[in-house]
Amino acid sequence: QCPWGAPNTTSISCSLADVMSEQLAKELQLEEENAAFPEVVAVAEGPFITGENVDTSSDLMLAQMLQMEFDREYDAQLRREEKKINGDSKVSISFENYRKLHPYDSDSSEDEVDWQDTRHDPYRAAKPTTTPRKGFIGKGKDITTKHDEVVCGRKNTARMENFAPEFQVGDGIGMDLKLSNQVFNALKQHAYSEERRSARLHEKKEHSTAEKAVDPKTRLLLYKMVNSGMLETITGCISTGKESVVFHAYGGKSATEDKVIPPECAIKVFKTTLNEFKNRDKYIKDDYRFKDRFSKLNPRKIIRMWAEKEMHNLTRMQNAGIPCPQVVILKKHVLVMSFIGQDQVPAPKLKDVTLSSEDMKKAYYQVLNMMQQLYKECNLVHADLSEYNMLWHDGKVWLIDVSQSVEPTHPHGLEFLFRDCRNVSQFFQKVGVAEALNERQLFNAVSGFNITADNEVDFQAEIEALEKMNEDHVQNHGKKLSMFSSDGDPPIYDE
């Protein structure tokens, strides 16, 4: 529907004066803008991307970046040639039409601002005195109403300059251009359709970068990874969470011989918007591995530490042989790891997969085993273990999402472990694994403690007492209590 279509004469009948009144113009403007820019429909985003809806727009983004770079070089070359040909001749030849870059492709679109906000709005009279209330200026024969053809024409010309900045209106300054309403309206319509086009492109770009989670700096980091050949292509977003965005990528070639890049990679980008991390302070603040550093760091660096922590924890798990993503590289707040899944389709979470009771039982014993390994061999408590952070792939369970994992001696480590146990027990009991231990039995089985309380409240109280004991010991002796490495194995440090 054309916003400038024929007016509905049956419902609206008003005088020409009314039509031309500023008041009505304002209203029409609003109406028209609403029609031209309807609310952007949010794209529903599932946690998983299946084969049908794989988002390849970030691939597109990269292609665009490369194209832009090429175009920029091309234009620069063109400019040089233009200069050479023209020299200081009075008549010059313009190569404008051969340029590659459409104005809205330029870098400035990055920090695009609403032109209506920053520029003079032609519909909000800047100088209300030019056309006084009574609708005319001058006296007697020289009287000029605001509907005067010349005034209107000049005004229209002035308005034209307030079209979107990327819309070329030419240089009419000093020419006393007078646009008729008809011409003005036609131009305006064109300007809007151009702007809509640009808005669509822009919107696409926004979605490809997963709801602005990837800021220009991150984009550059990713771009460099592709540019260096380490990654072949970044195909799209797998997941956008509160704290991170995960992308899929095809691996490329490693710069060094000894390192092999997996054919498919997952890129976890820790969000640099800080507020989401506030409630995670407790995981890292009290982790003595990071304690000394924590106080000295600014928030941006703390976010990098989450990525770093995930890397270290994954490495520990890898060394213990626990199925988990393999770390490829860490760059600032961006962690590249092997992709669990195939052909861009991530392995399903345990909560989403339908398994035979045989497989489910197998999965349960594997999880029990992994929890023990994690505790004893890696000296870690997952601290966010649930069917959401376990993937089913290749007939086994893979653990992911370990940025918040802590050592058992963390002041709340045992509480975290108990919570993990509760999640795991409840899940496997729900899906009908008869052998599944309850959360208290599981806690003892994993930690090696023998807490006998048979109800949750007492059990938790004992856990907290244990934590307190450990803390007191740290206060008095400055090191962790040996009871945590119950089987005598020294904790594994790889940092």
340 touches which of Mn ion, ligand ADP, none (CB within 5 to 8 A by kind)?
ligand ADP
What is each CA distance from 466 to 306, 385, 471, 472, 473, in whole angstroms?
A: 27, 21, 9, 10, 11
Measured CA to CA, the distance from residue 329 to residue 230 in angstroms comes to 10
- Min. distance of Cβ 126 from Mn ion in angstroms? 53
User: Is position 325 an interface residue for ligand ADP (rule: CB under 6 A)?
Assistant: yes
Contact predicate 305/297, CB 8 Å: yes
User: Is position 322 an interface residue for ligand ADP (rule: CB under 6 A)?
Assistant: no
How many amino acids of this chain bind ligand ADP (CB under 6 A)?
19
Annotation says 121 is catalytic: no
The number of angstroms, rounded, from the C-alpha of 289 to the middle of its chain's C-alpha atoms is 29
Pick from 194, 195, 243, 387 the residue near ligand ADP by CB under 6 A.
Answer: 243
Stretch that binds ligand ADP, among 22-30, 37-45, 343-351, 461-469 (CB under 6 A): 343-351
How many amino acids of this chain bind Mn ion (CB under 5 A)?
2
- Min. distance of Cβ 246 from ligand ADP in angstroms? 4
Q: Is 218 exposed, middle or buried (0-12, 13-18, 19+ CB in 10 A)?
A: buried
Exposed e or buried b per residue across 138-177, where buried means at least 16 C-beta atoms within 10 angstroms of its C-beta: eeeeeeeebebeebbbebbbebbbbbbbbbeeeeeeeeeb
User: Is position 246 an interface residue for ligand ADP (rule: CB under 6 A)?
Assistant: yes
325 touches which of ligand ADP, Mn ion, none (CB within 5 to 8 A by kind)?
ligand ADP
Q: 346 CB contacts (<8 Å, ≥6 apart)?
A: 48, 49, 238, 239, 248, 266, 339, 340, 391
Give whichever of 389 and 409 is closer to Mn ion, judged by the CB atom: 389
List, in sequence order, every beta strand (DSSP E) within 219-283: 231-240, 244-251, 264-270
Which ranges of 295-412 would DSSP assign to H, the alpha helix? 299-320, 357-376
Stretch that binds Mn ion, among 53-61, 112-120, 271-279, 384-392 (CB under 5 A): 384-392
Eight-state DSSP code of residue 230? S
User: Is position 339 an interface residue for ligand ADP (rule: CB under 6 A)?
Assistant: yes
For the chain, how many residues are written?
495
User: Is position 262 an interface residue for ligand ADP (rule: CB under 6 A)?
Assistant: no
Q: 96 CB contacts (<8 Å, ≥6 apart)?
A: none
User: Is position 403 an interface residue for Mn ion (rule: CB under 5 A)?
Assistant: no
Stretch that binds ligand ADP, among 3-11, 199-207, 241-249, 437-445 (CB under 6 A): 241-249
Catalytic residue among 55, 59, 384, 420: 384
C-alpha angle 116/122/126, rounded to 5°? Answer: 110
Contact predicate 400/322, CB 8 Å: no
- Min. distance of Cβ 388 from Mn ion in angstroms? 6
Residues of span 365-424 touching ligand ADP by CB under 6 A: 389, 400-401
Give whichever of 165 and 346 is closer to ligand ADP, judged by the CB atom: 346
Residue nearest to ligand ADP (CB): 241
Residues binding ligand ADP (CB under 6 A): 238-239, 241, 243-244, 246, 266, 268, 325, 337, 339-341, 346-347, 349, 389, 400-401
Contact residues: Mn ion, CB under 5 A: 389, 401
Catalytic center residues? 384
